[in-house]
Amino acid sequence: MLKVSPVGDKDRLLTLLSDECGVIRAFAKGARSLKNKNFAVCTQFVYGSFEIYKSRDYYSVSESSPLQLFEALSGDLSKLSLAQYFCELASLLAPSETYAHDFLRVMRVALYYLSAGEKDARQLKAALEMRLLSMAGYMPDLRMCRECGAYTAPEMRFFHSEGIILCGDCAAAGGVGGATGVNGTSGTGGASVAGGTGGASGRYGQSGGYSSLGEDALSALRYSVYAEQKVLFSFSSSGVALGQFCDAAERYLISKIERVPKTLEFYRNLPEG
Ligand SMILES: [Zn+2]
């Protein structure tokens, strides 16, 4: 369940991420009443089974049963707001009216880890951002430096609008254009190195910024894009590398969807801790 909105005094409009139909909006008639059979399941984040039928041009829920509730999310404002952001991302990036099993699975695992508190929340967020974008058709090419083919380098620059990487040497040799004024905005951990070297003749970074990545941050970014889905969240990143990875993922996301989602803004503005 990505979102629940009230409709009038009695009904609810549900935004669901479904296995077979992707993102779907369906009415739950009477579901604002305590006595309604669908009352209990009409809550955000729940994973469950829903019987949905189509009449004229809208969908309605007839039967539903909750299977997994992620209850720990509601007691923690930071987790709750991050979970809301995850749901907004899914509603923006998952397809509609088509099979979306992979999206559903990755969301369910992400919410599980967030709820259980077993993984670093920032790492979960960055990995989910990169994976959902990749699944939605925005997979970057992180295999090697686009110019010289280097697989690793002390510094790699990840160009958001092109979705490619350049090693520090090739970037310094003139691959980089006027990426001025695009600074790290998220405050994800102090290690964001913001783009902008001036110079107007480069081929990359003309229309967007880049993130500077050390070797560990690049590994984390690669992992989040290329790892098998079942082990997507099974890596660990920390310190400077985690800060760079988180910053790069968030900025890449914003460059692709061309805005800052409301729920992300809310999450960013929460007091630390
Ligand atoms: Zn290079």
Determine the distance separating the centroid of ligand 1 and the alpha carbon of 256, expressed in angstroms: 24
Residues in contact with 115: Cβ distance below 8 Å, sequence separation at least 6, in sequence order: 70, 71, 72, 73, 79, 83
> By the 8 A CB rule, do 14 and 91 touch?
no
Q: pLDDT tens, 136-181?
A: 999 999 999 999 999 999 999 999 999 999 999 999 887 554 443 3
* Rounded Cα gap, residues 99 and 85, in angstroms: 22
Q: What's the rounded Cα separation, in Å, for the pair 146 and 170?
A: 9
On the question of pLDDT at 135 being above 90, the answer is yes
Q: What is the pLDDT of residues 227-260, one digit of tens each?
A: 999 999 999 999 999 999 999 999 999 999 999 9
Contacts of 245 (CB under 8 A, 6+ apart): 123, 126, 213, 217, 220, 221, 224, 237
Ramachandran region, residue 153 (left: φ > 0; alpha: ψ -120 to 50; beta: rest): beta
Q: How far is the CA of 167 from the centre of ligand 1 (A)?
A: 4
Residues in the chain: 273
Measured between its terminal Cα atoms, the distance across the chain in Å is 27
Which CATH code fits 3-118? 2.40.50.140
Tens digit of pLDDT for each residue in 76-123? 999 999 999 999 999 999 999 899 999 999 999 999 999 999 899 999
Out of 57-61, 139-143, 206-210, give the one with best mean pLDDT: 139-143
DSSP letter at 46 equals -
Distance CA 134, CA 2 (A): 20
Distance 215 CA to ligand 1 centre (A): 14
Q: Which residues crowd ion ligand 1, with CB under 5 Å?
A: 145, 147-148, 150, 167, 170
Q: Output the CA 132–ligand 1 centroid distance in Å.
A: 28
| Domain-wise residue ranges, the chain | 3-118, 137-260
